[in-house]
Amino acid sequence: MTDPPAVALVTGGGSGIGAACVRALAAIGHHVVVADLDETSAKAVAGEVDGVVAATNCADPDSVDEAVRRAVAHGRLVAAVNSAGVSGPASPLADYSNEDWRRVLAVNLDGVFFSTRAQVRAMRDTGGGSIVNIASVFGAVGAPLAPAYTAAKHGVVGLTRSAALAHAADGIRVNAIGPGFVRTPMLEQRADAGRLEQLTALHPLGRLGTPDDVASLAVWLCGAGSQFVTGGFFPVDGGYLSQ
């Protein structure tokens, strides 16, 4: 009997860091499920790698559970990258609305919880796997005009560590990556050329990150070379946090 195909699931896989992770995981032989709220973008990325599309709202636990069921239907879920996220408005805490707070937390923290929970449930009965949660440098430091984003990303790091401890005995590793400012469509929509130059200057390596910078680490954390690595928070930030 042949082993079932190795399946990877990527939330937010239709663009940016998620899309780079889809391509990188497919390149090492995984059958990838591209989960994204934007089904058109997900189809475009999935088409590049002969992957599967799952139209997914990560803020909805039922939608997340369905995406994981789709993944399991195609083989054994061995890897997952939770990359779906939103930025929220630039505003100090005193002026932040209830609606914006809930929207950012619903996707960036609740969504990672729903996704990680569903992935753990699928992996623990089939020999384990690796889950990578995309946090941020703002999972380690504060951002004065991003209270919801900062709170959510700190939460992702804590959630990751808790899950890693709870499910190590199930053969499941859970780690978080903390990107610095990465040149993605989401960043470019919010920052003009002058702002991008300012952001670049915040990184000692003298450039913004790329989605591939993050995907390279995500693939390592999903692979055989990181079998003794769990519960970690790994900055990919060009030195941002070292200042």
Q: For residue 236, what are the β-bridge partners?
A: 179
Which one from 149, 181, 234, 240 is the annotated catalytic residue?
149
Query: Is the dihedral angle over the CA atoms 169, 170, 172, 176 positive or is it negative?
Result: negative
Q: How far apart are alpha carbons 15 and 41 in whole angstroms?
A: 7
Residue 96 falls in the annotated catalytic set: no
With both helix axes pointing from N to C terminus, report the angle between 211-222 and 16-27 in degrees, rounded to the nearest 10. 50
- What is the maximal distance between C-alpha atoms in the chain? 61
Q: How far apart are alpha carbons 188 and 168 in whole angstroms?
A: 38
Q: Which of 183, 176, 149 is nearest to 160 (CA)?
A: 176
- Catalogue the active-site residues: 149
